[in-house]
Structure 1
Amino acid sequence: MPLAIVIIAIVVVLALWFISLYNGIVQKDNRCDNAWQTIDAQLQRRNDLIPNLVETVKGYASHESKTLEAVTQARSAVMSATTPEGKMEASNILSGTLKSLFAVVEAYPDLKANTNFQQLQAELSETENKIAYARQSFNDCVLEYNNAIETFPGNIVAGSKFKTRQGFEVTDASVRQAPQVKF
């Protein structure tokens, strides 16, 4: 009789341990989803600000249409991307085109002094900072989740149900370069 109680106790402890590990993996997976939704919300905020910024710049720098078109196209690419990976790549390209836009703006002192432009630039800069923070948070969540499902004993509990996730990374090396403005 005491052996049966010991076996039952061991089975119960193992079941609770398994449930605890499984729930921990699910929570980490959900944190990754939440972190991505935060990035997505900030990307949408940036996308909402860009048309106002472009219209303000157009009034001062109408001959810079190539740069403005690039920003508009990059914004459209972010909005039309359907996967997190696609949004990541399109967002990186948009960040690069925005750097080019702000480099062009340096040549227009009246524009830089315009209150609307300053406000839009400040909001966009704040949003870019929030995006950077959200990306870091997302990458931290992905790291924690991937570690949970790839290390022992989590890999046994995760089985084939949970797949590794990809963190946010720069895929276009050109966005790491400072923009060059030529007049």
Structure 2
Amino acid sequence: MSSLEIRPTAAVDLPSITEIYAHEVCFGTATFELVPPDLAEMTRRFQALIEGGFPYFVAVLEGSVVGYAYASSYRPRPAYRFTVENSVYLRPATHRRGIGRQLLERLIAECETRGFRQMIAVIGDSANAASVGVHAACGFRMIGTHPHVGLKFGRWLDTVMMQRELGQGARTVPGGEGGTG
């Protein structure tokens, strides 16, 4: 495999990201969206994440964006501010080459640097063994399954929940909450 570059996402990457995600929406079960968002919507989502202080990376192979990963707010209420949810998507031709794991590892490291304490993976479709496996390999533990919560392609799908501590995790309380940071 040629040298893989993982770098922060730039606006120029958004057409490729939109294409990668559209394929997953139309043909995969990793996302429960049913209609692919257009470039304008993907740009809006990207800007909201960056403005919110969340990391967003692309994987570039031979000059082309082949995958991306980002962290987002797990839930909107303030008590969840140290918990993020991760998302990782790849072009189908690049599956099973270690790119998803490299993206996830970079995302984890960056989230730790930014002071987040927990990362949640909400994996669409319990049959998605590759995603469950890469998360387990990166230190996530299974916390549960929500059976039959999504209907896509004429069948009911589960979501698998996995979690990983970041940095000090729950061993300390970040400053400003009466803790030691």
Question: After TM superposition, is the score higher than 0.5?
Answer: no
Higher-RCO chain (CA-CA 8 Å, sequence separation at least 6): 1
- Normalized against structure 1, the TM-score is what? 0.31
- Normalized against structure 2, the TM-score is what? 0.31
Greater gyration radius:
1
If each structure's helix is expressed as a fraction of its own residues, which one has the higher value? Answer: 1
If each structure's strand is expressed as a fraction of its own residues, which one has the higher value? Answer: 2
